[in-house]
Amino acid sequence: MNLLSVSSPHLTRTGGTGDVMLLVILATLPGLTALTYFFGWGNLINVVWATTIAVASEALILKLRGRSLGFYLRDYSAVVTGVLLGLALPPFAPWWLTLVAVSFAIIIAKHLYGGLGNNLFNPAMIGYALVLIAFPVEMTSWIAPRSLASATGEIAPFVDTLNVIFPFHSTTTFDAMTMATPLDAFKHKGDLTAEQVWAAEAVLSAKSWMAWQFVSLGYLIGGAYLLYRKVFTWHAPISMLLTLALISAAFWLYAPNSFASPQLHLLGGATMLAAFFIITDPVTSATSVKGKLIYGGLIGLLIFMIRTWGNYPDAVAFSVLLMNFAAPFIDIYSQPRTYGHKIHK
Amino acid sequence: MNRGLRDFHGGIHPPENKDLSTQVAIETAPIPDKLVLPLQQHVGQQSKALVSEGDYVLKGQLIAAAEGYVSTALHAPTSGVIASIQNASIPHPSGLSGSCIIIESDRKDEWGKRLQPLDYEKVDVSELLKRIREAGIAGLGGAGFPTSVKLNPSAENTIVTLIINAAECEPYITADDMLMRERSEQVIKGIQIIAHMLKPVGCLPVECLIGIEDNKPEAAETLEQTVKQLHLEHEISVVRIPTKYPSGGEKQLIQILTGKEVPNGGIPADVGIVCQNLGTAVAVYKAVALGEPLISRITTLTGRALEHPKNLEVLIGTPIRSLLNHCGLQQIKLNRLIIGGPMMGVTINDLDTPIIKSTNCVLASTSEELPNPTPQQACIRCGMCAEACPASLLPQQLYWYSKTKDFDKALNHNLLDCIECGACTYVCPSHIPLVQYYRFAKGEIRAQEHDHTKSEHAKQRFEARQHRLAEEAAQKEAKRRERSKAAKLRQQKATIPPHNSESESNSEDKAAVIQAALERVKSKKDKTSKLTPEVSNGSAAREEE
């Protein structure tokens, strides 16, 4: 008789890691939709382009490592990295910038560490940090939202956008339309008071600011969906958002004219994307409940510190990478109390 | 009853599949031609066979005795002839065989001398303990711990709560469910006896809680009615607990019902609790009130490879094959045969493996209901396992430590507190067989500890020897000194003339010693010179060869 001989448990839930990753990709849709609606086709093209590079890089390395392509590509982790970078990079980032960021993320930050599950750093953030340091000009020019882009309130046509990103046949430029991000504008406010900056900067005008808030709202909705589907727990995102909100509120209340408001911190940059799509990457974050609270909280703190006193207007990538360093250490000291044990040593 | 129930950490809700086997009443399985009775059906020392090949035994006759305190007796489940005592397949995860008594039944099912029924209120507790031991009762819930040992807690522990585990949280299994529905009076009377035994003289009666998952409303209602009929409302409470696996784990059930935790490395009695399985209570009732030893039990025969899944009252030792055939086994569909439930059960390959005292379920599953394991994907540390772990461990960390054989860290993360319930493996999206990794690590740690104790013993032996040798040498030295001192004194006394200065006597002493030594050397030399020719001859001979 040929019966299966295995040890218990014999029952497992259906669904795999690939399904989890697909949920994450699905949850980016509200944010991507908002981005596309307000800022044009750029990010959508970036997402497609970045995903293509990510999958190609992953396939290349899997081939070199002699792994089964079908099995490993179906965990969709490379697609997630591609999508996240496509969302994070500026809408008109040239094709080679995305290529550098994504291929570095997949090949160096992920596979040289041993592939999915073994990487110490968040691959997307490594890719982002690399191009942020190497190509600061390209990385800090965002574009104006639709209401400010043209008199008619139209976004740039798809073909034009494609030509800007892949400038092989055309010399289209969108110089007139580039614009700083809200955080960038505030960062370089000089001697102006907060009130004056909000009045002076186009990006902080009511219409523009609304666009930015909608994008953040999109990520928040996606994050809430992932929480509802139990893809991750609330601990890291809420800890991060709460810490950032509280600290920025404290400084802002103390000196409202010099410090950015909590609203600007929470909705004006990549904060929501970071809270629900970046720091929730389980591979590179702390793993216990207590650990996630610490991990998220410290990322919130670092984001505030770097934005306020550092050289970069947004600070998600560096904050996350710094805490990636600390995650294994946090893990050691944040074990939960095991059943039947007294307070943990 | 409205109690403040606590929740335990984690847990899962796998598909229950219980109604497969609750459609029909408990049936009595036919007596098989051959019964296989392993001598090891319990935790502890193997029983010692009292019969030999060719002996005729009657139903209920003692055929193997308990060997040591933690052990159980074994009785013939039916009348017949001892065919042999030999190694045969037993339900054990190792898949190894064990020593078994094999009885060929004569189909007469003739009872031998029964034990005297006892009135539990009139006899001494020690008498009841003796009876339970004589009846060969070991926990019927799965682990098979000898019941008499569990019901005899050490004097330091005052038992305040008796918990009857009727949670039956594993999917598919319905043996306790059906037992409660159909034989609730035996259940309650058994519980009464156990509660009586745990109550020390002059103390308050123990609180008695029956923990039952709320997916068995019919059973719970029947029990409640019986409790009312017997006017025991003040002594026994039926407590419905939320259905969640593994609520029937002893530690988890204690946590749910009392909020207490069994301390690390301890037993429930340390927090004043004794936990017994429901089926065990019935066995106790039969042993005490009817004088029947444990020779049969209710076992669930289920799974989609069976045409008629149901609960059977089976004789201990019945080969599973005959039960499967009785329930309409569809051989072609059978893919995985499990003793126990799908979460913690043990697969078997040999259909002649017998039902033992702790076999609550036989699950004959198809490849559709329990698919073959899929290839493992990378661990992404998503932490779903940690959310599911009823012991509040970090399975994702234990996985890495087990995989990399970093056993110190695994122990530091309390690997040994893992109860192997399988909740982590159930939820893992990467299909990592986590429990298997932990079993491997635990095994390695045990082996290492074993080696360590062995080398520790060797070291102790060596050191003790060194110490003894040193002591002997020291004693010799002391004796020698004493002798020389005595000799000196004697000499001093003998050569008392006052003009002899001390230095002179010393030099004389030395001269005497030197003289003696020289003589010894000389005599030795003589001996060697006598020996030498032979030795040289010998070596010469060797050279010639």
Lowest mean per-residue pLDDT among A240-244, B84-88, B503-507, B514-518 = B503-507
Span A50-70, mean pLDDT? 95
Looking at chain A, the whole-number percentage of residues with pLDDT higher than 90 is 65
Q: Which of residues 504-533 of B touch A (CB under 8 A)?
A: none
Which of B382, B409, B431 is the best mutation test for A, with the most CBs of A within 10 A? B382
CB atoms within 10 A of CB B443: 10
Residue B510 DSSP SS3 = helix
Q: Name the CATH superfamily for B19-31+117-364.
A: NADH-ubiquinone oxidoreductase 51kDa subunit (3.40.50.11540)
Q: What does the pLDDT look like over A257-300, one tens digit per residue?
A: 889 999 999 998 899 999 999 999 999 999 999 999 999 999 99
HSE-CB for B138 with a 13 A CA cutoff: 29
pLDDT for res B174: 96
Per CB-CB distance under 8 Å, the chain A contacts of B348 are 3
CB atoms within 10 A of CB B204: 9
Put simply, whether B320 touches A (Cβ < 8 Å) is no
pLDDT greater than 60 at residue A81: yes
pLDDT greater than 60 at residue B529: no
Put simply, whether A69 touches B (Cβ < 8 Å) is no
CA distance B161 to chain A (A): 18
Q: Minimal Cα distance from A75: which residue of B?
A: B377
pLDDT greater than 50 at residue B543: no
> In this complex, do B380 and A8 lie within 8 Å of one another by their Cβ atoms?
no
Short-list B18, B362, B363, B359, CA closest to B219: B18
Q: Band of the pLDDT at A1, cuts 50, 70, 90? A: low
Q: What does the pLDDT look like over B318-339, one tens digit per residue?
A: 999 999 999 999 999 999 999 9
Q: Band of the pLDDT at A181, cuts 50, 70, 90? A: confident
Span A78-107, mean pLDDT? 95
Asked whether A278 and A240 are in contact (CB, 8 A), the reply is no
Q: What does the pLDDT look like over B339-380, one tens digit per residue?
A: 999 999 999 989 999 999 999 999 999 999 999 998 999 999
pLDDT for res B537: 45
> In this complex, do B342 and A11 lie within 8 Å of one another by their Cβ atoms?
yes
CATH code reported for the domain at B376-495: 1.10.1060
> In this complex, do A1 and B349 lie within 8 Å of one another by their Cβ atoms?
yes
Per CB-CB distance under 8 Å, the chain A contacts of B345 are 8, 10
CA distance A330 to chain B (A): 13
Per-domain boundaries in chain B:
19-31+117-364, 376-495
Question: Measured in whole angstroms, how far is the alpha carbon of residue B257 from the centre of its chain?
Answer: 25
pTM over 0.90: no
Put simply, whether B324 touches A (Cβ < 8 Å) is no
pLDDT for res B522: 77
Per-domain boundaries in chain A:
16-179
Per CB-CB distance under 8 Å, the chain A contacts of B374 are 16
Q: What does the pLDDT look like over B185-223, one tens digit per residue?
A: 999 999 999 999 988 665 666 889 999 999 999 999 999
Cis amide bond preceding A9, omega within 30: yes
Span B227-231, mean pLDDT? 93
pLDDT for res B437: 96
pLDDT greater than 50 at residue B538: no
pLDDT greater than 70 at residue A147: no
pLDDT for res B4: 77
CA distance B445 to chain A (A): 19
Span B32-39, mean pLDDT? 94
Per CB-CB distance under 8 Å, the chain B contacts of A5 are 95, 347, 349
CB atoms within 10 A of CB B365: 28
Q: What does the pLDDT look like over B457-499, one tens digit per residue?
A: 999 999 999 999 999 999 999 999 999 999 999 888 887 665 5
pLDDT for res B544: 42
Whole-angstrom distance, CA of residue B52 vs CA of residue B63: 9
Q: Band of the pLDDT at B157, cuts 50, 70, 90? A: confident
Looking at chain B, the whole-number percentage of residues with pLDDT higher than 90 is 75
Q: What does the pLDDT look like over A229-259, one tens digit per residue?
A: 999 999 999 999 999 999 999 999 999 888 9
> In this complex, do B347 and A11 lie within 8 Å of one another by their Cβ atoms?
no
Q: Where are the beta strands (DSSP E) in B24-89?
A: 27-28, 34-38, 48-49, 56-57, 62-65, 74-75, 80-89
pLDDT for res B339: 94
Which of A1, A5, A6, A12 is the best mutation test for B, with the most CBs of B within 10 A? A12
